[in-house]
Amino acid sequence: MNKLITEAEGAKIAGVFKYILEASESILIDHGHVITGQIIKNKKFFADNGHKDFEKLEYYLGSAISSLVDNKVIEGIKDINTDENLVFKKINELSDKEKLILAECIIKHFEYSNIRGMQKAFNIFGGDK
């Protein structure tokens, strides 16, 4: 798949990602598995585009979605969206290509947050000398 996207697609993906980030803690924790399922609903499309180990992808994306709760606290993001059905609706408005890119963005955000956390810990314990 060509992962080049139009400006409109990028804005749409960013809007849904922001919408997920603003979801309440209970949605991210209690319904994170449903959000994961909504994003990676078309397993064949994901497999055809390089995500062959579906269980690993599902686990990793679910972990990334759950970790958004901690990141929201750190980044000061407010719980604006409290209706899980609206979150699911926003996700389902995306094409398979957009969902794939959204999943990769959420995972990259998770990885970046982990690296940032490790760097802070490294600096706290004198690693910056």
Classify residue 4: in a domain, yes or no: no
Within-domain flag for 15: yes
- Reported as a single tens digit per residue, the pLDDT across 98-114 is 999 999 999 998 888 77
61 assigned to some structural domain:
yes
Q: pLDDT confidence of 127, banded at 50, 70, 90?
A: low
Q: Which residue range forms the structural domain that includes residue 68?
A: 9-124
105 occurs within a structural domain = yes
Structural domain contains residue 115 = yes
Query: How far apart, in whole angstroms, are the C-alpha atoms of residue 104 and residue 118?
Result: 21
Does residue 100 fall inside a structural domain?
A: yes
Q: Is residue 80 part of a domain?
A: yes
| Range 46-55 average pLDDT | 90
Dump pLDDT digits (tens) for 57-78. Answer: 999 999 999 989 888 877 888 8
Q: How many domains does the chain have?
A: 1
Residue 118 to residue 12: CA distance in whole angstroms? 31
- Residue range 23-44: average pLDDT? 93
Q: Within a domain: residue 101?
A: yes
